[in-house]
Structure 1
């Protein structure tokens, strides 16, 4: 019996007129899909793959086995879904175009910039201000390193690191996400002016997190990581990393909704680099358009990640700008809405050029058929 279905966009376009209008606006953004693979799995094994276009997919979906019809219809609706803007304090973050999350690490041991802004509020404030001036839509504040092998951070230390940074960012009127998996830090950060919880454990680390986020009614980013407890990188065994991460995020979304979170507040992140090999990361980035079928906005965190070094003669973290730009643009081409970045000015420039190309394609009427 067929027990799983996935709808993966396989043909993307920069404008609907290039496909004579037979294209879907993917997740309400600036990317259009004109071909889709309907993938059927049985007991974890792909048993059939059908190709469709927007004008033929209805017939294919209606002919699917009854036990997967509902899921297929939900995924098709997810691919077509428009996402309302995030209202974060005085700032409105539109999700119909790529937005940049500037990273502010206030840790002693982050893989990229650990220690630079720890116990140095003036430097941190200047960095946050520069990211906002460069065009970051929000600042993502983190007080715990989650790199492989990093020691656990005591909650009290995390609070001492995070709260001053949240406070000075709030003083600038910034939209703020806080990268934490501890409910005490979540609550204190929200009270200090943060707007979004960005939890690398997808609210699994502490059972109180679900209740807290539901009660506060704030947006939350649920990221995939295979490990439980302190080691988020453990238990990294995949039958097929793309389908496994998709199913995991779907389950995390449903768990959050069952706990009372409003679906419009749930954002999903495939967790590039967390318990994943180079091949796993590449497969996930190539498959990013499929994750819109979950019906939620997406985050891509690929900035300065280890995979860039692996593909560029082991370049150290501070020499991975080119790779960071390449992966971010790949995410934009896939319709991802939110992009975490260390090098905000360069990434914003890349986004602006990307946006210019998209706008030009939409007004290129030479691609339309003659009447």
Structure 2
């Protein structure tokens, strides 16, 4: 199925890099490096130059922290979305938010995708997406409250079945709200409402989510499951992230939300070539 993300259309063999742009002073990874407008725009420019297909702009970190109200979140992201749209007219812009009020403002400013990392806790977000013909990322959080960490998380049934049922239900609600079917993605939401064992199981069985027919987005970048698996701090998780990226791409994921754009682009290009969907950039060895 052709995937339509606002102004962008992509065939099912396209492996897309979604570059993270945090408009927060307290992100777990960049520690506020792109909170200021100039630094954030430089990050967008760099991501585009390194091969990003879309950017994902967020105004509230996912982890617990200081309260960020609706007005403050809008102030952090809506004007910046408008500035990115003016600077990069053809770039697909996503915004990471769970609030319909924020969704309304960023869609009016030019956003193409609403990346709801908290599993549809605000049903009004889908109405905004439908009204603006925006794409929606339907995530699974296992019922976790917004901005909380998992604590002694268990699933009555198989975790992958729970993820599948959850994202399919969210996708159904998106369709009922009027979101175009070609503009719906599903995301198992690695680490959200899950411990490391859950996340690893979902990853190794990602093909079961791909088999639903909905395009799968994965957000793997430098997350705790990588750190716990390899016993590495946040700033030493790139290798584990890229290994997981390659496996996820091979199993059929289509969109990859990342910090390291250039490295991810090369990883995905290598997977696409190994699958026979992309020719090598050049071939000389043994031909002359």
TM-score w.r.t. length of structure 2: 0.89
Alignment-derived partner of residue 247 in structure 2: 330
Q: Which runs of 5+ in 1 are unaligned?
A: 1-82, 364-371
SS in 1 for 2:20: strand
CA contact (8 A) 1:152 1:230 kept: no
Match of 2:169 in 1: 251
Q: In the TM superposition, what is the alpha-carbon distance from 1:332 to its structure 2 partner?
A: 0.5
Q: 1:163 to 1:283 in 2, by over 3 A?
A: same
Aligned equivalent of 2:18? 101
Instruction: Name the larger-Rg structure.
Output: 1
Distance apart, 1:103 and its partner CA: 0.6
- Please state which structure has a larger fraction of its residues in strand: 1
Alignment of 1:279 with 2:197, yes or no, is yes
SS of the residue aligned with 2:9? Answer: strand
Superposed, 1:1-371 pairs within 5 Å as: 83-89=1-7, 91-118=8-35, 120-147=36-63, 149-170=64-85, 171-173=87-89, 174-204=91-121, 206-231=122-147, 233=149, 236-239=153-156, 240-313=158-231, 315-359=232-276
**SS across alignment from 1:359:** coil
Moved more, 92-101 or 215-224: 92-101
CA deviation after TM superposition for structure 1 residue 260, in Å? 2.7
Report if aligned partners of 2:5, 2:134 keep a CA contact under 8 Å in 1. no
Per the alignment, do residues 138 and 286 of structure 1 end up closer, same or farther by CA in structure 2, a change over 3 Å counting? same
Go from structure 1 to structure 2 and tell me whether the alpha carbon gap of 1:87 and 1:227 turns closer, same or farther (over 3 Å shift). closer
Whether contact under 8 Å (2:144, 2:192) holds in the other structure is no
Does structure 2 conserve the Cα–Cα contact (< 8 Å) formed by 1:105 and 1:114?
Answer: no
Kept after mapping to 1: 8 A contact 2:215/2:253: yes
The DSSP-based 3-state class of the residue aligned with 2:61 is coil
C-alpha displacement of 1:157:
1.2
Residue-by-residue CA offset, 1:229-288 (whole Å, 9 max, x unaligned): 434545843132111111111111222222332322211000101011111010000010
After superposition, what is the alpha-carbon deviation per residue over 1:116-136, rounded to whole angstroms, capped at 9, x for unaligned?
111x21111111111111111
1:361 to partner: Cα distance? 9.9
- Give the CA RMSD over aligned residues: 2.1
In 2, are the aligned partners of 1:93 and 1:137 still within 8 Å (CA)?
no
Instruction: Please name the residue that 2:285 is paired with.
Output: none
Distance 2:31 2:102 in 1: 19
TM-score by length of 1: 0.70
Contact 1:226/1:234 (<8 A) preserved: no
Distance 2:181 2:277 in 1: 34
Q: CA deviation at 1:93?
A: 3.3
Q: CA deviation at 1:115?
A: 1.0
> 1:279/1:259 Cα in 2 relative to 1: closer, same or farther (>3 Å)?
same
For these two proteins, the number of residue pairs brought into alignment is 276
Counterpart-to-counterpart distance in 1, 2:213 and 2:57: 26
SS at match of 1:178: strand
